Amino acid sequence: METIVELHAAYVTGPLRDGLEMDMTRLGLFNSIGAATRWLRRAIPQEAEYLKPEPGEPETRIHHASAAVITISPYPSDIVEVIYDETGRVRGKIDHSADPWAGRDPKTCKYALGDMLGYVSCSKYRIGIVYGLPPHVQGLKRGLDSTDNRYTLAFDNDGDKWAHQHIAEPLLWKIEHPVPRALQRTLRKLYEQRMET
């Protein structure tokens, strides 16, 4: 068996807002997660210095980084993704295998129903509202696998009341930036509609 680690960084320019495009850049290939982590922690301060904007220009910065840990074997490859914050600290791991999963006790969830969160999907920063937690601990009976360990968030998609995403916990962020009141109202309405069904 061989392990390959592919390291990427997500860059953002300007303040965070719903729908902001991220520039996903491959940083390199490594032979272990330890080597990738050490390299990333050394590289982040250098990147910050390199990315300093000219006066009057918007700031570009690393939002987060991810390392896909790929185990190559005669069997189907397993992929675990390690998510780092903008300082190189590990936020968590995402298991992309289809291994049987027993579910999760809601007490272990970092976020709750009704929380408004930032998340990353398809190279975009979005704002959504949690209306579904990862499935409860009876998962083996329901045939769950590790890819079911996701929160369900409603988001504003031009009035589509069923628009939603399933997002793993390490790709969710508490919002520390202003959210337009109109978007807050839309998300609360979507949440109420979902909780009624």
Please state the rounded mean pLDDT for residues 102-111. 89
Q: What is the pLDDT of residue 197?
A: 72
User: Which of the four pLDDT bands, split at 50, 70 and 90, describes residue 102?
Assistant: confident
Q: What is the pLDDT of residue 53?
A: 83
Q: What is the pLDDT of residue 120?
A: 87
Please state the rounded mean pLDDT for residues 61-69. 93
Q: What is the pLDDT of residue 189?
A: 92
> pLDDT tens for residues 114-163?
999 999 888 899 999 999 999 887 655 667 888 889 999 999 987 666 78
With a cut of 60, say whether residue 22 has pLDDT above it: yes
Dist CA 118 CA 85 (whole Å): 13
For the ranges 51-60, 154-163, 185-194, the lowest mean pLDDT is seen at 154-163
Task: Work out the number of other CB atoms within 10 angstroms of the CB of residue 67.
Answer: 23
Tell me which residue of 186, 131, 179 sits closest to 160, measured CA to CA: 186
CA distances from 77 to 27, 67, 68, 80 (A): 22, 15, 12, 10
Amino acid at 96: H
User: Which of the four pLDDT bands, split at 50, 70 and 90, describes residue 12?
Assistant: very high
Please state the rounded mean pLDDT for residues 159-181. 90
CA distances from 66 to 3, 48, 58 (A): 16, 17, 24
CA distances from 147 to 1, 9, 94, 125, 169 (A): 23, 22, 8, 21, 12
Which CATH number is correct for 100-197, 2.40.50, 1.10.3470, 2.70.98, 2.30.30? Answer: 2.30.30
User: Which of the four pLDDT bands, split at 50, 70 and 90, describes residue 48?
Assistant: confident
User: Which of the four pLDDT bands, split at 50, 70 and 90, describes residue 76?
Assistant: low
For the ranges 44-58, 65-79, 120-134, 181-195, the lowest mean pLDDT is seen at 65-79
Q: What is the pLDDT of residue 121?
A: 87
Helix (H, G, I), strand (E, B) or coil at 173: strand
Segments making up each domain of the chain, as ranges: 1-97, 100-197
